[in-house]
Structure 1
């Protein structure tokens, strides 16, 4: 499948087990796997469009729609879990012929980046975690609202302006409408992923302290100081647990680091992924 002019979210597709994975493949250079978050209506393109623009001159960026999100196609009887998404990611790397890649994970995608590093450390080079899930924390009102989303234009606008973004003026009505329409198409799958009570899904996406402490990959964490969805404390915990790690905190920034501070994020990531080994 080739990219369409009418919908840039639909790009290429490849068979990954029982899932037909829609994905973006842009740029040249060392491969970087981009794993998106779990907001309603999300896709790899919606999550990473600015990052792909900024990093594609230096890297080959591979961004799949994980099962239940975006435009990947799954069987009608599909269930969703960390194990299902991890297998899809491994199958995707295999299908792309990529033995080893840098991995950038946003929020929910951060937990999946950690899962890949823990279960298949040989497939991962460096790790970037952005507002990442992956360690135990108390469910925030923001994340409860995200996972409990019920489709409407107003609900989507509230999430985007008041929960995700620090600066709500970045969120236009056209952007809200686009994301709201996207959420309608995948809502049945989305509702099945994170039903209430939702603390259990935070716990299900967390990894053990021993497993995270066992990660030897160089790891950069980026977190918005004003994140209402995933607390900064999660990145502080990972900074303590991952030996070769560093943390960059951005003020006046919510859960959308790669959008609200796109240039700074791209600069941080480029420097980290290209620095010489110590």
Structure 2
């Protein structure tokens, strides 16, 4: 067991991804609201540094937002025209009209956005829950996906890590109410520290500026009336997706993905076991693996340069980067 696992608090805040990214997150980005039938999506854009670049779409994890991708979007501005979605009920996107937070519903939101705006095929990125969503999109709509990059994708594990159990318990009805009572005296600063300890391989690497930005964003999100509901329903949707069999099983869908795939796993990830890297590399038929021994659950935030470099290698090897 690593020293990070040994020092991990037991009463961790059950959210996977810190709401904010590195300092300067959001600088040079566009921000717009897109209305689609039954839902409204907040979309953060990073224009490419030259005209004619191919499109990329980034999908965040449970409890995260489009801001989680700002460091990587900045790194890849020479390669792609980047857009990051706030999934329904997260970031600045309101809840969906039908209250459906299943993995399939999130995947439909991504597909609907790409279809309506003619963005495909895109270089599709996903982290954690967003990795499961992106896998489903790539399996059912291969015409929309040029390449697939998955950072610690939340695919089913038979034996999840002990440190991932509190997050999984969000799926239990009433769990968020109980957690709210248990942590009602916690400050936003403490909640943010717990998140960083859960998600980062080295929380000490987060600057004071980054920490303060994350605290402010966390306070904003906690004030939303649907914050806990969207979190618990999305967690329940992910757990339900793990139980599906046949052609809807996530691992079966991973085997159906045709797009060249980059898999990124962190050696200090407390939410998705590093051992899953081998299974994922075998499941995705045309895959490459980037293993980052010191990274946690959000390698695109901790090591955006390394992830960007591996993505450029993917483009070079597959010749899929042309617009």
Q: Per the shorter chain, which TM-score range?
A: 0.7 to 0.9
- Judged with a 3 Å threshold, the aligned counterparts in structure 2 of structure 1 residues 43 and 209 are, in CA distance, closer, same or farther, namely closer
CA distance in 1 between partners of 2:91 and 2:76 (Å): 22
CA distance in 2 between partners of 1:182 and 1:138 (Å): 35
TM-aligned CA deviation for residue 13 of structure 1 = 1.2
Instruction: Answer yes or no: is 1:165 the counterpart of 2:200.
Output: yes
Equivalent in the alignment of 2:293? 251
Equivalent in the alignment of 1:232? 274
Does the residue aligned with 2:193 lie in a helix, a strand or coil? helix
Residue of 212, 232, 235 corresponding to 1:194: 235
Q: How does 1:4-23 map to 2 (within 5 A)?
A: 8=26, 11-23=31-43
Q: After alignment, is 108-117 or 128-137 more displaced?
A: 128-137
Residue of 86, 94, 113 corresponding to 1:92: 113
Does the residue aligned with 1:33 lie in a helix, a strand or coil? strand
Equivalent in the alignment of 2:19? none
- Judged with a 3 Å threshold, the aligned counterparts in structure 2 of structure 1 residues 210 and 259 are, in CA distance, closer, same or farther, namely closer
TM-aligned CA deviation for residue 233 of structure 1 = 2.3
CA distance in 2 between partners of 1:276 and 1:191 (Å): 39
Q: Which has the bigger relative contact order, CA under 8 A and spacing at least 6?
A: 2
Equivalent in the alignment of 1:222? 264
CA distance in 1 between partners of 2:310 and 2:66 (Å): 20
Instruction: Answer yes or no: is 1:43 the counterpart of 2:68.
Output: no
CA distance in 1 between partners of 2:215 and 2:250 (Å): 39
Q: How many pairs does the alignment contain? A: 267
| Structure 2 contact 135–250 (Cα < 8 Å) conserved | no
Does the residue aligned with 1:232 lie in a helix, a strand or coil? coil
Does the residue aligned with 2:155 lie in a helix, a strand or coil? coil
Residue of 113, 118, 125 corresponding to 2:146: 125
CA distance in 2 between partners of 1:215 and 1:32 (Å): 17
TM-aligned CA deviation for residue 204 of structure 1 = 5.9
| Structure 1 contact 258–265 (Cα < 8 Å) conserved | yes
Equivalent in the alignment of 1:53? 74
- Judged with a 3 Å threshold, the aligned counterparts in structure 2 of structure 1 residues 96 and 142 are, in CA distance, closer, same or farther, namely farther
Runs of 4+ aligned residues of structure 1 deviating over 6 Å after TM superposition are: none
Q: CA RMSD in A?
A: 2.7
Residue of 134, 154, 159 corresponding to 1:138: 159
CA distance in 2 between partners of 1:195 and 1:87 (Å): 17
Whose Rg is larger? 2
CA distance in 2 between partners of 1:18 and 1:211 (Å): 26
CA distance in 2 between partners of 1:243 and 1:100 (Å): 19
Q: After alignment, is 53-62 or 137-146 more displaced?
A: 137-146
Equivalent in the alignment of 1:4? none
TM-aligned CA deviation for residue 225 of structure 1 = 1.0
CA distance in 1 between partners of 2:252 and 2:97 (Å): 36
CA distance in 1 between partners of 2:161 and 2:154 (Å): 12
CA distance in 2 between partners of 1:87 and 1:199 (Å): 18
- Judged with a 3 Å threshold, the aligned counterparts in structure 2 of structure 1 residues 68 and 78 are, in CA distance, closer, same or farther, namely same
- Judged with a 3 Å threshold, the aligned counterparts in structure 2 of structure 1 residues 210 and 80 are, in CA distance, closer, same or farther, namely closer
CA distance in 2 between partners of 1:114 and 1:265 (Å): 18
TM-aligned CA deviation for residue 21 of structure 1 = 0.6
Residue of 92, 98, 102 corresponding to 2:123: 102
